[in-house]
Chain A
Amino acid sequence: MASSMALHSQVREDIALSKDKTGMKWVAPFDDATAKAKKDQRILMVKPIAFGTDNKGCW
């Protein structure tokens, strides 16, 4: 099926997270995420990671 996943984010979907191809449209940094949440009237879904991310954004 042709991917019909919407591409919502117009702000930085950051370089550090670009290796994630799971389809999640992560928005970073936090300032951009909060700005987008305000603009789009959306809720932030925040995943804090406790023990180390590498420079590819993997955890």
Chain B
Amino acid sequence: MLRVGPFCDPQIVSLSNRRFIPFAFDLSNKGGLFDPTARKAVVAVSPELGGNGVPTPDVLFMTADGKLLARVSNYASEAEFLEVMKQVLTDHPECNKASKEELAATTPLERGRVAFELNDFTTAKKELSALESDESKILLSQIARYAQDWKTAERHLSDITTDEWKDDVQMERVRMHVANSEFEKAIKLADLIHQKSNRYTEARYFKGVAQSFNGESKLALATWKELFLSQKEHDNWVYRTDWAYSQTIQKEKKLMSTTGKRVSLLGRIGYMGRSNPDLVKPKAK
């Protein structure tokens, strides 16, 4: 399910919002998101979706006048999904031009932020490296995290001295500790991130991941369930939590159901097409 996979990945979300028009609809007229115009346009380019018992639909990249440009599997990994997005933009540079808002970005920080959201990390680093601001250092540490260059990530985090970005620094270090198999450190640090922080759900999610890796599956499930119950709205980390929780209680890939033991915390309809990549334990160093 994409909402628990690529569509909750921050890199994919930011690139989607900057360069694509994301649209979802239900093929069936019984669904709440049924859209007859969309169905007609999609069946015209992907006729197998026109009957009953259709296969799990791919994500389709289309022009406004209905031409199919590319497609990617519903069960693609984040990396595969990003690759298709970038390729379709490379093939269609006319749809990859800067928006008015992007053109209005005048400061290096603004330009760096835009480049970061476009996954153009070479430009982002160029814009941000000479800056003294803490936000630039957080962004640079995240770019290093994406490259799993933990030494560089820590160097940028160590340069941050103000409290304004304290939660971000702690959260980045939680991610670093998990990746480096320092699970106890990750758990302790995640607990310091306040409920009002905008990285709170991420902190609780990765606390559960660290507990899981630390052989504390029951505690991990409790952490994830507590997070789920505490949130009235479901951000990407709550969806990710739903995925991790369901995978852990099922122990192996099985069908999900809206009834019985296989129900997910979110009561999701559908199938878990693949395993949560965050639950692949890092190799001990």
For A30, the chain B residues whose CB sits under 8 A away are: 23, 25, 35, 37-38, 41
For A3, the chain B residues whose CB sits under 8 A away are: 198
Interface residues in A15-32 (C-beta closer than 8 Å to B): 16-17, 19-31
Q: Number of residues in B with C-beta < 8 Å to the partner?
A: 73
* CB pair A43 B69 closer than 8 Å: yes
Report the separation of the CA atoms of residues A52 and B32 in the bound assembly, to the nearest whole angstrom: 8
Residues of B contacting A: mostly: mixed
* CB pair A43 B21 closer than 8 Å: yes
Report the separation of the CA atoms of residues A48 and B23 in the bound assembly, to the nearest whole angstrom: 8
Contact among B20, B99, B138 with A44 in the assembled complex (CB-CB below 8 Å): B20
* CB pair B198 A44 closer than 8 Å: no
Residues of A contacting B: mostly: loop
* CB pair A45 B22 closer than 8 Å: yes
* CB pair A44 B23 closer than 8 Å: yes
For B31, the chain A residues whose CB sits under 8 A away are: 49, 52-54, 59
CB proximity of A8 to chain B, nearest CB, Å: 6
Interface residues in A32-53 (C-beta closer than 8 Å to B): 33-38, 40-53
Contact among A2, A31, A46 with B198 in the assembled complex (CB-CB below 8 Å): A2
Contact among A28, A43, A47 with B95 in the assembled complex (CB-CB below 8 Å): A43
Known A3-B198, A24-B22, A38-B64: A46·B37 in contact at CB below 8 Å: no
Shortest Cβ distance from B45 into A: residue: A46
Q: Return the CB mask of B96-122 against A: 1 if under 8 Å, else 0.
A: 010101000000000001000100000
Of A16, A30, A37, A42, which is in contact with the most chain B CB atoms at under 10 Å from its CB? A42
Contact among A1, A2, A22, A43 with B239 in the assembled complex (CB-CB below 8 Å): A22
Report the separation of the CA atoms of residues A16 and B26 in the bound assembly, to the nearest whole angstrom: 12
* CB pair A23 B235 closer than 8 Å: yes
Interface residue tally on A, bucketed by range = 35 or more
Check if B1 is an interface residue, CB within 8 A of chain A. Answer: yes
Contact among B3, B26, B63, B117 with A43 in the assembled complex (CB-CB below 8 Å): B63
Q: Return the CB mask of B74-106 against A: 1 if under 8 Å, else 0.
A: 000000000001001100101101010100000
Interface residues in B36-71 (C-beta closer than 8 Å to A): 37-39, 41-42, 46, 49, 54-57, 59-65, 69
Check if B24 is an interface residue, CB within 8 A of chain A. Answer: yes
Known A30-B23, A33-B23: A5·B198 in contact at CB below 8 Å: no
For A27, the chain B residues whose CB sits under 8 A away are: 21-23
Check if B135 is an interface residue, CB within 8 A of chain A. Answer: yes
Q: Which residues from chain A sit less than 8 Å from chain B, CB to CB?
A: 1-6, 8, 16-17, 19-31, 33-38, 40-59
Q: Which residues from chain B sit less than 8 Å from chain A, CB to CB?
A: 1-3, 7-8, 10, 13-14, 16-28, 30-35, 37-39, 41-42, 46, 49, 54-57, 59-65, 69, 85, 88-89, 92, 94-95, 97, 99, 101, 113, 117, 135, 138, 165, 168, 198-199, 233-236, 238-239, 266, 268-270
Which 9 residue pairs are nearest across A and B when measured between Cβ atoms? A30-B38, A37-B64, A48-B57, A53-B33, A33-B23, A53-B31, A47-B24, A45-B20, A22-B236
Q: Can you list 13 contacts pairing A with B, beta carbon distance less than 8 Å?
A: A2-B198, A4-B117, A6-B18, A23-B235, A26-B22, A28-B35, A29-B37, A42-B95, A44-B20, A46-B38, A47-B57, A50-B27, A55-B32
